[in-house]
Amino acid sequence: MNDPVEILSQVRQKESLIVNPRKRNGVILIKAYHAEFAGPGSVIGGEFDTEVIQVLAVGNLSLLHPQSTEEKIKAYLIRRQWILLTKQIADNPTPQQRAQIILNQFENWFDSAIASQVCDEAFSLLVGVLPKTIASARREIENF
């Protein structure tokens, strides 16, 4: 299931899905004023993502249906960890550093090819910077 329109429909219908924890994949959930990253093992959908306006697959996205309440609870805890990791990056007071760190983290979590497929706007919504700041950080990485 890699169709963003289908995934968005399921999320809006409050269906709970889990990002396959056995693959290097994830989802960027674009909301009105920010974005959230749900990495491997995270739940998406349910009551928490009703305001999602767009979903972006990261890597070869694989979503699973939770098989039990315990599995769903574990997936919510993992989602919380991904949110906290992103928050740590966003807490950095310097926009250029936030941009640099989120790009570096995505290259570490996945690889540079996958990170390069994520648009500047999505990264900017994750860490609260302008898209041009992400573009500038990408150029610095390329020139390094």
* Rounded Cα distance, 116 and 121, in Å: 12
The pLDDT assigned to 2 comes to 67
Mean pLDDT for all residues in the chain: 94
Give the pLDDT band of residue 142 (cuts 50, 70, 90): confident
Q: At residue 97, does pLDDT exceed 80?
A: yes
pTM for the model: 0.93
Strands 54-59 and 43-45: unpaired
Segments making up each domain of the chain, as ranges: 4-143
Q: Which residues of 23-62 are buried (b: 16+ CB within 10 A; e: fewer)?
A: eebbbbbbeeeebbbbbbbbbbbbebbeebebbbbbbebb
